[in-house]
Amino acid sequence: MSQRHQSRRMEGRVALVTGGGSGIGRAAALAYCREGATVVVAGRRSEELDETVRLIVAEGGEASAIPTDVAIAQQVRELVDLTIERYGRLDAAFNNAGIEGAFAPIAEMPEADFDEVIAINLRGAWLSIKYEIAAMHGLGNGGAIVNTSSFLAKGASVGSTAYSASKGALDALIRAVALEYGPHNIRINNINPGAIQTPMFERLGGLEQIDIIAAFTPLRRVGQPADAADVAVWLSTDEARFVTGQTLMVDGGVSIPHVR
Ligand SMILES: NC(=O)c1ccc[n+]([C@@H]2O[C@H](COP(=O)([O-])OP(=O)(O)OC[C@H]3O[C@@H](n4cnc5c(N)ncnc54)[C@H](OP(=O)(O)O)[C@@H]3O)[C@@H](O)[C@H]2O)c1
């Protein structure tokens, strides 16, 4: 076990991870537990959540699953209520649930596709933050929230209007939340991953492009789920105690404006 894990920076704390059944969320759930936290994983598919819990328990950690659709306010409220009922506190939340949606040029994008991406990536994150903050504020112990935005919040790709708008708005909204709840020692930050090898990356055809992506990435590889998850966990620890309202690129350097 590494020195980092021995330090157990989240000992005695409770962390909630949405989108915890796969990809970056599963890696983060495992990483929070290795740091000593008890973790609640949420998402729509129970089997995937149960598998994350199984992996955590196999490592000696404590976790449970609460199936939740973040687009439904009632379910988000119940997720937060149940977490506190079960474990008595909420110290960290990683709002990572998201979909890529259908990529298409704006004139060809059905309105329903735009609405779905906004409903999950933006409104779902807004709802998660709203109910988590209400709980953290009520408990009075402060807290740390991290959301998964994207490098496409700042950049763009053809067809990304809905996705980029959802993540760009998520970058904007956390600055207001940071101002509103900073006085209560509740911090909020975003990670903005580049290409990370997850089921979403695979659905977007990333595996076929993996060598090309690695070649234009300054660190010369595609990211792995833990590359993003470890930054989210760091932002949740006391090591980041003076960091709030920030968006942090986790993209191997792709976003550096550079001349070839
Ligand atoms: N992979 C990348 O290259 C990349 C780059 C930048 C940003 N991101 C962002 O990273 C986050 C995680 O994605 P990933 O790459 O790890 O892909 P992923 O494996 O597809 O993870 C997305 C997770 O979100 C959950 N989810 C989707 N809609 C949900 C809803 N309505 N309610 C609750 N959970 C929901 C999914 O579970 P269910 O389907 O079971 O609900 C799934 O576990 C996303 O926000 C994505 O936009 C990814």
Q: Could you give the CA distance from residue 165 to residue 70 in angstroms, rounded to a whole number? A: 18
Q: Say if ligand 1 is within 6 A of residue 46 CB.
A: no
Instruction: Identify the band that residue 5 occupies on the pLDDT scale cut at 50, 70 and 90.
Output: low
Task: Report which residue type is found at 145.
Answer: I
- CA nearest to 122, candidates 103, 142, 94, 148: 148
Q: Say if ligand 1 is within 6 A of residue 163 CB.
A: no
**Which CATH architecture is the domain 3-248 placed in?**
3-Layer(aba) Sandwich (3.40)
* Structure tokens given for 223: 């990211």
DSSP E strand boundaries for 62-105: 63-67, 92-95
Atom of ligand 1 nearest to the CA of 70: 32
* Structure tokens given for 197: 């090898």
Give the CA count within 13 Å in the CB-facing half-sphere of 142: 14
pLDDT tens-digit readout, 157-203 = 999 999 999 999 999 999 999 999 999 999 999 999 999 999 999 99
Looking up tokens 């988590």, which residue turns up?
A: 132
Instruction: Identify the band that residue 258 occupies on the pLDDT scale cut at 50, 70 and 90.
Output: confident
What average pLDDT does this structure show over 34-52? 98
What average pLDDT does this structure show over 13-37? 99
Q: Say if ligand 1 is within 6 A of residue 29 CB.
A: no
Q: Say if ligand 1 is within 6 A of residue 31 CB.
A: no
What average pLDDT does this structure show over 80-109? 98
Rounded to 5°, angle at Cα 65 from 61 and 69: 145
Whole-prediction pTM value?
0.98
Residue nearest to atom 19 of ligand 1 (CA): 23
163 is annotated as an active-site residue: yes
pLDDT tens-digit readout, 126-156 = 999 999 999 999 999 999 999 999 999 999 9
